[in-house]
Structure 1
Amino acid sequence: MPLTLTLTPAAHAAIVHAAAAAHPHEACGLLLGTATHIAAAQTAANVHPDPIRHFEIEPAALIAAHRAARAGGPQVIGYFHSHPNGLARPSATDAAMAAGDGRIWAIAASGEVSLWRDAPSGFEPLSYVLKEG
Structure 2
Amino acid sequence: MEMKYSTYKSIHEPEQVLRTKPEFSYEKYASRLFLRDQITRSAMIKLLITISVFIAGCSVVFKASAGDQPVLLNEQVVVSSGDTLWSISLANKPDQMDTRIYVEALKDKNQLSHGTIQTGQVLELPQFQH
For the aligned pair, the TM-score class normalised by the smaller chain equals: under 0.3
Higher strand share: 1
Q: Which has the larger radius of gyration?
A: 2
TM-score (norm 1): 0.21
TM-score (norm 2): 0.21
Higher helix share: 2
